[in-house]
Structure formats: C-alpha cells, structure tokens
Amino acid sequence: MTFQESIKTCLSKYVTFSGRAQRSEFWWFVLFSFVGSIVLSWVDIALFGSTTVSPGSISGSTDTPVLSGLFSLALLLPSISVTVRRLHDLDKSGWWFWLWLIPLIGWIILIVWYATGGVRGENRFGPDPLKG
C-alpha cells in the first residue's frame, strides 16, 4: 500500500473498527500524522508566536497550537481505528490497544506487535488484507 492509499483508506474508514489493516497502511498513517503535526506546529509558531512568562523565579512558555491541535483532534478517531484494525491483523483483540497506558513496557510490546507481520490467510477478523 502506498502513502496516499494509506491516508485515503484510513480517512475513509475513520470509525471502522472491524476488519484488518496491513503494516504499510498503519505505518504510513503514523508517518502522515507525525509529519503533519510537526509542520503545523511550525505554522502555529509562525502565525501565533511563542510567549515566555517569568513570574519571579518560575518560568514557563505557552504556545497556541491551533492548527496542529485541530489536526490532531481530526486524526484521533482514524488513528484509533487503524490501530485496532492493525491489532486485528495480528489476530489480537482491539482491546489490547489499552496496553499503551502502561508506560514503557506497554509501549514496547505494542511497537513490536505493530512491526510484526500479520497472520497469513483469513482469521477471525476477516480476510488477509495482502491478498485482497
């Protein structure tokens, strides 16, 4: 699956939690989300600037992430659904998605699963996306 096909598929199936997603569909969409957020963060800084507040000895900075925030919000459901479909390709329940709540260990397990090839042939979640 190409980069553009992946984005079209993920956005058209933005709330489809059934079926399977191959590795390329998942990782291309992750790349799209990551690069889009970074680019829009730069645009946010260029348009809205960055402000630093220093009351006494405490300092902090505030940004106005309008565009990158809207972009991330728009991709929230498509990201969750492609993640669930990716887990289905591994013949795992979508509920394993909640493993990301366990810092480090959960993240490592999920990344390894996402990088692993899917089950060949049909499984309980549908036909093999590579044959179809």
Determine if the pTM surpasses 0.95. Answer: no
Q: What span, in angstroms and rounded, lies between the C-alpha atoms of 78 and 80?
A: 6
**How far apart (Å, rounded) are the C-alpha atoms in residues 130 and 27?**
15
Joined tokens for residue 132: 């179809």
| Domain spans in the chain, listed from the N-terminal domain onward | 3-115
Choose between 44 and 108: higher pLDDT.
108
> For 60-94, what is each residue's pLDDT tens digit?
455 678 899 999 999 999 999 999 999 999 999 99
Q: Provide the token pair at 29.
A: 């969409």
**For residues 35-59, average pLDDT:** 73
Under the banding of pLDDT at 50, 70 and 90, the label for residue 112 is: very high
DSSP E strands in the chain: the ranges are 50-53, 60-63
Give residue 50's pLDDT. 64
Rounded Cα–Cα distance for residues 44 and 70 (Å): 11
Predicted confidence band of residue 54 (pLDDT cuts 50, 70, 90)? low
Residue 26: pLDDT band by 50, 70, 90 thresholds? Answer: very high
How many Å separate Cα 63 from the centre of its chain? 23
Three-state secondary-structure class, residue 91: coil
| pLDDT bracket for residue 103 (50, 70, 90) | very high
